[in-house]
Structure 1
Amino acid sequence: MTTLDAMRGIVSLMVLLYHVDDVFVARSAAAPFGGLFHGGARGVDFLFVLSGYVMTRLYLLDGVERRSAAAFLGQRARRLLPAFWIVSLMALAVYLAGFGGADKAAKLEPHRILASLLLLPQDNRPLLNVSWFLVHEALFCLLVALVLVHRRLGFGMIIAWQGTVLAMMLAGHDAGPSEVPNYLNSRSLGLGIGMIFALAQRRMAALSRERGMSFVFVAAAALFAAGVIWEGTGERDTRGVPIPLLDLAAGVMLVAATTLEGAGRWRGPSALAAIGSISYSLFLTHFSVITILVIAIARLDLALGNWAALMCAAVALILGAVFHHRVDMPIQAALRARRAPAPASPSEAPRAPRVGMAQGSATLP
């Protein structure tokens, strides 16, 4: 759906700007635009909700086309892993060449490299910093596959996982920084919240339509935006609006926006949808691009100010698009071609599958 791609585009830009802010501050520069970009960290939480929502709508709702667990996992692996491995191996080559400093040494231990490439939890930041998000995504995919095998058992395992995370959060025992990939960090609750909103969409949409779906969307968007602005303009690294509350607002926004699009009353802007379509490549590449640019700017003795921040964001966006169109999509096309059955005759040649939600957007970011 265009609306979902547009919303993915918005939150991808939020995460991109957050990392611009993060890298600038790490290099002892002033936070761009007074730290406003720092609130973009909440875009990651929206992506968790969006991932749970889309995955449930595509594969788990009654009435959707069923597939085997093996076929589902194969499709997700083909979509996620090739581009991820390419960027991870590039990062490995950079670290092995001596760049990154002593603080990267732990990443080069063999078992940590293996854990990073297989998207397994560990007690250190992964080889590719941003891939901590994919560790949660990989577990969620395994649990969705279990639902496809045994519906009650699969949903029971998801409930047990999410319940454990919620209990730990309420008890004040959150599982450390989210950048250290583990399965019990409270940010993973967004996946379950997205799933709940997808399962309850029909009932919620009917209720909300009576009260004005547009108003519901605006109210939820205002709450989410307030949390983003509060975190960006307040004291650094303090959160005004609790993340679970922002996750709930994100879920309401998804239900409202997709219902409005289905009724023909709203459609996501095409420019944002285009950014959403390249979001996975942008997600994988942007942090490294920003880091390299900031190092280059500093070595040229140029100012790390607002204009430099915007330039870094623009270049990262462009290179993310290049990676998407020149690397990721050709790989995906080649993999689809290998799996396509040979036509019996030229007149019976199969049509190329349409790249829609199931092919390109089921997983976030």
Structure 2
Amino acid sequence: MSTAYEAPSPPASGFAAAQHPSVASPPTAAEVHRFRQDIQGLRALAVGPVVLFHAFPKLLPGGFVGVDIFFVISGYLITRILHQEIADGRFSLTSFYVRRVKRLFPALYLMLATTLIAGLLLLPPAALDEMAKTLVATIGFASNLQFYRVSGYFDGAAELKPLLHTWSLAVEEQFYLLFPLALVTVARWAPRRLGTILWGGAAASLAACLWWMTWDPSGAFYFPFTRAYELLAGSIAAVAAYPRLRDGRVGDALSLAGIALIVGAVLFLNERMAFPGWLALIPCLGTALVLVAGEARPALGGRMLSAAPLVLLGSLSYSLYLWHWPVLVFARYLALRPLTPIEASAAVLLSIALAALSWRFVERPALALRLPGWRILTAGAATMAAGVALAGPVVLTDGVGARFDPAARALLAAQHDISPRRADCHSSEWDPIPYARSCALGDPKAVPRVAVWADSFGAEYAVALGERLAARRGSVLEVTNSGCPPSLDFAAPDRDRCVAQNRELLRQIVADRRIDTVILIANYLGYREASLTNEAPLVAGIGAATRALRGAGKQVVIVGVIPRMPFETPAALGLLRQRAADPASFGPARAGFDAASASTTTALRGIATQTGARFIDPAAYLCDVTRCHGFDPQAGALYFDHAHLSLAGARKLIAGAPPVARR
């Protein structure tokens, strides 16, 4: 998120143009602070798609690239100002941070304070505790590292983290901890190498990002050194470290090409693609082209971006970025389900209203302050300390759990009703457990005759089945792997290695003479949602696995589509109880689930019929004629999140439909 603190400024500057032809001569102070309406339009082109993407993900699937646009703008504007100050001999690190405090802190801390108050009213303890920790990290401009730490598969839905959007502020501020000093160093020791150093830094950052994405995509997304190339793209544009434009028609063409790249990224990129990496260069290059094209004179594309509505939206961009995300998150907590289009539209309008008020009565007055720098820095430090002091008690009390009565706290605790053997028996995305080390659950003296082959949906099922078999001196082998359904040759999203893993698992299960029954479980609706395609390849792979197992003489049990809840189940149940509502009312309508699962259920039944396998329909035991339930008065919460059955839910399903006949 761009937080450049000066009026959108421009032309390119450098340390020593006379000494190096690839770096432009420093412009005058008036040129540096020249207001560029096209940059405000660029900001609108960044924040608008981000907000719409967060409110209506299917409307603009690539709207998330707005953050990358902001990074380039920020790198451009701040580099321009710093370069001019260094060239004039008036650069001061203290002054730099004074401007940052004036630009960032007032609106940011107003949002943080409001979010903390809203969290006390609306969030369950675990979510409030995490938000308070994130608030402290945000104060230290380290929330990106906090979100990286909790970016695992089961660390909660991103759309329910009220401060998730602060990660980009943290990336910027971490970048600006070193960047001004780096510029001063280059100016002192290698002014002729400025362009080369910026290009080299950007290339190194991009290379690091591409390498990191091969083994740690979350790190590549959140780390400042893997996103630095985006900010440096703006820096390169700022110092004119490229061939100079001589023809205005070329500038017009470049500005239009830049807008086309940005619009194309917004419309055609999506979350399923590997990002940032190479793909992030599309919006970054587009933004840089617009910035470069408008340096000497307003280019055609820049004049289009200078339309009054875009300039106004660009003026609100920082405040709108700050407010829109927590408003959307808290709206979801009020609804306890995905927002309808009308509700999402209302949340966006409220965000715009809050942004306008924040801009008019907080941002502008703060920027207009004319106080000694030491007072501003002291006030900033005091504000940071106050924020930590307010968030600290929330963390120390585990999210102020005393706000909820004992019955509500018992429902909330279902988030921990998971397999106690997940850490050592369930394969993570990147560290599969070899078949030879698969866990046998149940009677420790029994030889496992049954195997649960599944993705993460099978972990709790295997434990619950092990409990049932232990009473008969039996056990079950758990062969579960996050994100890898037991579907031959099916490449799950971001899990290309599943194809080879499943081929090897099938070979070993077939060769394992201990196993006579194999239970297949998969997150069918989740893969459809993640890939936005039909279930045909997934179901075809289930059929191939079933036929191979049956051909080897194994009995096969296919567990059908497990209903998904509209919200994190323990949180929803606890909040409903706290609101004096009936937890049994929580869950999707049966008709909607039947419509969503009909084709998959029909196909799986067909596979079972053709191969002689057994089919279990979870909906027959987890749903009634009107609703699929997340809560059972006798069993309790049936899910530990929005999709995975809790141990209680797995026990209920197994009790209703035992997958293994009594011997």
TM-score by length of 1: 0.73
User: Which residue identity lines up with residue 115 of structure 1 in the other structure?
Assistant: A
- Tell me the residue number matched to 2:281: 244
C-alpha contact 1:59 1:65 (8 A) present in aligned 2: no
Equivalent pair of 1:73/1:141 in contact (CA under 8 Å): no
Matched, 1:310 2:334: no
Instruction: Please say if 1:165 is aligned against 2:189.
Output: no
- Of residues 144-153 and 317-326 in structure 1, the stretch that sits farther from structure 2 once superposed is 144-153
Residue in structure 2 matched with residue 228 of structure 1 by the alignment = 266
Deviations 1:79-114 (A, max 9, x none): 1123212322332344455615524533434xx543
Alpha-carbon distance in 1 for matches of 2:301, 2:269: 34
Q: CA deviation at 1:148?
A: 5.5
Q: What residue in structure 2 maps to residue 219 of structure 1?
A: 257
Displacement of 1:245? 3.2
Structure 1 unaligned blocks of 5 or more: 22-30, 341-365
Partner of 2:94: 70
2:370 to 337, 343, 355: 337
Partner Cα distance (1:316, 1:287) in 2: 8
Q: CA RMSD in A?
A: 3.6
Aligned partner of residue 294 in structure 2, secondary structure: helix
Q: Which has the higher strand share?
A: 2
Aligned pairs for 1:6-21 (under 5 A) are 6-21=41-56
- Counterpart CA distance in 1 for 2:111 and 2:175 is 22
Q: Rg larger in 1 or in 2?
A: 2
Task: Tell me how far apart the structure 2 counterparts of residues 107 and 162 of structure 1 sit (CA, whole Å).
Answer: 33
Q: Structure 2: which amino acid aligns with 1:212? A: V
The structure that is helix-richer by fraction is 1
* 2:303 counterpart SS class: coil
- For the residues of structure 2 that align with 1:80 and 1:52, how far apart are their CA atoms? 16
- The whole-number CA distance in structure 1 between the counterparts of 2:69 and 2:218 is 18
After TM superposition, give the deviation of residue 36 of structure 1 in Å. 2.3
Aligned partner (choices 181, 201, 205) of residue 146 of structure 1: 181
C-alpha deviation, 1:317, in angstroms: 1.4
- Which fold has the larger relative contact order, with Cα–Cα distance below 8 Å and residues 6 or more apart in sequence? 1
2:342 is the alignment partner of 1:270: no
- Listed one character per residue, the Cα deviations across residues 308-350 of structure 1 (whole Å, up to 9, x for unaligned) are 43333222112211121123333333xx23349xxxxxxxxxx
Cα separation, partners in 2 of 1:16 and 1:64, compared to 1, 3 Å: farther
| 1:11 Cα deviation from its structure 2 partner | 1.2
Partners of 1:16 and 1:170 in 2: CA distance: 27
Report the CA distance shift for 1:239/1:217 in structure 2 as closer, same or farther (over 3 A): farther
What is the TM-score normalised by the length of structure 2?
Answer: 0.42
Cα distance in 2 for residues equivalent to 1:49 and 1:160: 17
Give the deviation of 1:180 after TM superposition: 7.5
- The AA in structure 1 aligned to 2:282 is L
1:47 Cα offset (Å)? 0.8
Q: Given residue 126 of structure 2, which amino acid in structure 1 is its aligned partner?
A: A
Number of residues of Structure 1 aligned to a counterpart in Structure 2: 315
Q: 1:54-93 counterparts in 2 under 5 A?
A: 54-61=77-84, 66-93=90-117
Offset from partner CA, 1:15-50 (integer Å, 9 cap, x none)? 1111113xxxxxxxxx5xxx1223211111111111
| Structure 2 Cα separation of the partners of residues 265 and 54 of structure 1 | 16
Matching residue of 2:75: 52
Cα offsets for 1:135-159 (capped at 9, x unmatched): 1211232234314643357979977
Instruction: Note the alpha carbon deviations across 1:162-218, whole angstroms, 9 max, x for none.
Output: 455322223254654379743233x33210111112212784333xx2653222222
- Counterpart for residue 328 of structure 2: 290
Provide the C-alpha distance between the structure 1 equivalents of 2:224 and 2:268, rounded to a whole number of angstroms: 28
Letter in 2 for 1:291: V
For 1:2, the equivalent position in structure 2 comes to: 37
Say whether 1:39 aligns with 2:72.
Answer: no
Checking the alignment, whether the CA contact within 8 Å between 1:69 and 1:149 is kept in structure 2 is no
Cα 1:148–1:250, aligned 2, differ >3 Å: closer, same or farther?
Answer: closer
Find out whether 1:204 has 2:244 as its counterpart.
yes
For residues 314 and 64 of structure 1, the distance between their equivalents in structure 2, rounded to whole angstroms, comes to 44
Note if contact 2:72-2:234 (Cα within 8 Å) is conserved in structure 1: yes
Of stretches 91-100 and 35-44 in structure 1, the one that deviates more from structure 2 is 91-100
User: 2:55 touches 2:344 (CA, 8 Å); kept in 1?
Assistant: yes
Q: Tell me, what secondary structure is at the counterpart of 1:50?
A: helix
Alpha-carbon distance in structure 2 between the residues aligned to 1:170 and 1:204: 30
1:117-139 CA deviation, whole Å, 9 max, x = no partner? 12025243697221111112112
Q: Provide the C-alpha distance between the structure 1 equivalents of 2:178 and 2:125, rounded to a whole number of angstroms.
A: 37
> Is the Cα contact below 8 Å between 1:123 and 1:181 reproduced in 2?
no
- Tell me how far apart the structure 1 counterparts of residues 293 and 255 of structure 2 sit (CA, whole Å): 5
- Report the identity percentage: 24
1:17/1:38 contact within 8 Å kept = no
Which AA in structure 1 matches 2:237?
F
CA gap 1:304/1:107 in 2 versus in 1, 3 angstroms = closer
